[in-house]
A and B are shown apart, each in its own frame.
Chain A
Amino acid sequence: MNRVDTIFNTLRASGQKALMPFITAGDPDLATTAAMLPALEKAGASIVELGFPFSDPIADGPVIQASMTHALAQGVRPGAIFDMAKAHRQRLNIALVAMVSYTLVHRIGVREFARRAAAVGIDGLIVPDLTLEESAPMREAARNEGLVCSFLIAPNTPIERAKEIAQASSGFIYLLARSGITGERSNLPPDLGERVEALRGVTDLPIAVGFGIAQREQVQSVVEVADAAIVGSAIMRRVADLREEGAAKIVRGVAEFVSDLAEGLRQKL
């Protein structure tokens, strides 16, 4: 069974929820990314989204965009990210999900990308700019390689379409807490609970919620209703703040922050 499925099955059996940190691969460099993975596991992450840097990530806000620009300036490319994953997969229990813009996948080839991802121990794919209508080849390639493939559902996605997206997804579905781009926000939209409930009516897949989640209290609110909370910009902002301080401080700073977020999984509101 795919590692993502196993993780959600295990958590569900014991009534627990998941924390899914996003980190940009290669910010500040791939060695630090590699060091962050076990630290994130220890801090309480179940699944890590590994962002493949792209020059024009239209769904991402300023923090992740800047992070990707930095990684690209270091020369970080998909081949090197695969190598890094391969070298460190063995000592990790967390699942790794690649978050990658479609044009990077297309350049390598959909089947070849899935093959290489699976070969290095990546467990799933999120291609945020791949619409349901264009997704069939990607889904088939993921299925053939035993990868899960999660699609995004937006606040303005009608429920009938959300159902189709959920049917096309495997592993989990990625529910956007809000419209717009990635980035930290101070509060969660009030209708999030209703939207998660509506989705429960059309899918049994775990529901992971992301976009704008930056604090322990928000993680708490999200996992009250959903199965997982995704945190990205808030982590990468800490990486940016600590960039000059060196790898050890970055890893420690991120681990402390994620530990604090993980408290939100355990505490009840």
Chain B
Amino acid sequence: MISRLLVANRGEIARRVIRTCRALGVGTVAVCSDPDAAATFVAEADTVVPLPGATPAETYLRGDALVAAALAAGADAVHPGYGFLSENASFARAVLAAGLTWVGPDPDCIEVMGAKVAAKKRMASAGVPVLPELDPESVMDGQLPLLVKASAGGGGRGMRVVRSLAELPEQVAAARREAESAFGDGTVFCEPLLEGARHIEVQVLADRHGTVWALGERECSIQRRHQKIIEETPSPGVDQDTRDRLCAAAVAAARAIGYVGAGTVEFLLSATGEFHFLEVNTRLQVEHPVTECVFGLDLVAWQLAVAEGARLPADPPTPSGHAIEVRLYAEDPALDWRPASGRLLRFAVPGVDAEFAVPPGHGLRLDSGVRDGDEIGVHYDPMLAKLIAWGPDRASAARRLAAALAGTRLHGLVTNRELLVTVLRHRDFLAGDTATDFLDTHDLAALAAPLADADAVRHSAMAAALAEAHRRHRDRPVLAGLPIGWRNLVSQPNRTSFTRDEDTIDVEYRHPAPGLVSVTDGPDGDLHVVLDLSGVRQRFAVAGYDTDRGRVVEVDSPLGPVALLTVPRFPDPTERTVQGATVAPMPGTVVRVAVEAGQRVEAGAELLVLEAMKMEHRVVTACGGTVAEIRVVAGQQVDAGEVLAVLEPEEEQS
């Protein structure tokens, strides 16, 4: 029996494993990097072993340090979670060699499946349909488009679409760099890109006694940059016959490699009902909660039981209802999914029925790695949380999930929340018409558009201005009991200006403001503003935060969330940006500098490349001119807003 388990991971998956351990009475050991020292999962574990450093390579990817941590803390088992070393056979071996229990399949099995190229061959020989592999050196035009994938990969990292031969070498190189950084293995391979196909995967669970369960399929077609953002079970595109065939293929695949524990067999399902094997994920998947909900089981508990040698019953439980999961990312879909970093000022999902566990009866489940006030850094995956709705059918699950997401108080960071809501409410999604190119074949700008329309923004800004006015008045050391903004002679309206993305919103109001029904104190220091909008009374919850960026005011209402930045009443005269300065769009590390001082550059020329959140971001010039100064060097860590280079703009043509 396992008595104390080290979770070789971080964030929400660490919390997920800890939750089950607590339910089972198993002690928990967390490891944490320096930036994670104050994270929730660290606080929740019984024992913590700090791993000095910040980057994954210094911390969560260091197998030796993890094994040492387990031994030091007296753990007798290791759960790798997902990502990091979860599919690293040598780590699994090191764990076993240290006399610890490895919660996962046998290292050989991981190794076989980890090398994606070899894995496909193995499956093909077991009778599982596979896609042909393409050699990057000899690819022909006719074989395009293709996909470059990291052999050791997962989670879309290192994956690139190539549509012309010209871009192939560069994309392969970039994929290698990313794979090297993410997995410590730069091997990549190519296969045909099936457009319009669905990503379908089957959850398998196998014990050491020959029983293999196929726990239905999950549809994970809605993806961005090959990373899943919406997952559900069952798939709207899979009928019972296909389901039977998929499950049979998955069981065959698992048996072919002697798989033990929880794993996932991934397939591409074409519109014609044909499917091809993609890979086996020899670990727990991010999207395992949907399967847990529908099958009413705890996969982590079963992983531990299997690792302890337990037998599975002959037949899996019967599925019930429909579950959909969304992954909430700190990223801006409208800006090419640019990762956002900064402080998560508030994260509160309304009506959560269970956390890290199957809700009793249909309901809402939250698996979150973050909480209010957390700093979302640049070192790790920008996923904040997973939200899962389990309903009697797909439509009710989608409705519940969209409503919960839309009503979530999510302050301080740009996220993909509104995109998720729009997709969940999209006609095509509701019709079950999903494929891996969903976001490419639909208008991304429309999908990513804010839920709040122009009127909603205007009303929200008014609510924000009035709430802020009342907050100021309430907190005033003198005259707080007098009517707000009282004047015996009125000479002008009150004015507040906000910025929202690129827009400036000017609000003018008088006290008492027409249309203002009430301002009352809500929980968590919020103010609730009720406005009368042509006879309809609308409530707005307004939260204000003093941040490094200035005064942030977040307005939530059924009209959609609106995040506003208050324009300071008095501009700070010392705050003058250097003319022609190019500043870092986000915190990150300079990968390479493409220009040197004195060089003439065109508008849009690449100045340098920043790596942030495991992604490379090109920093380009806003105008043509001469590079006057380069202030950074490769390898340097920079903060958002830091001046990277100074450009002398070209003289205007006269």
- Do the two chains bind? no
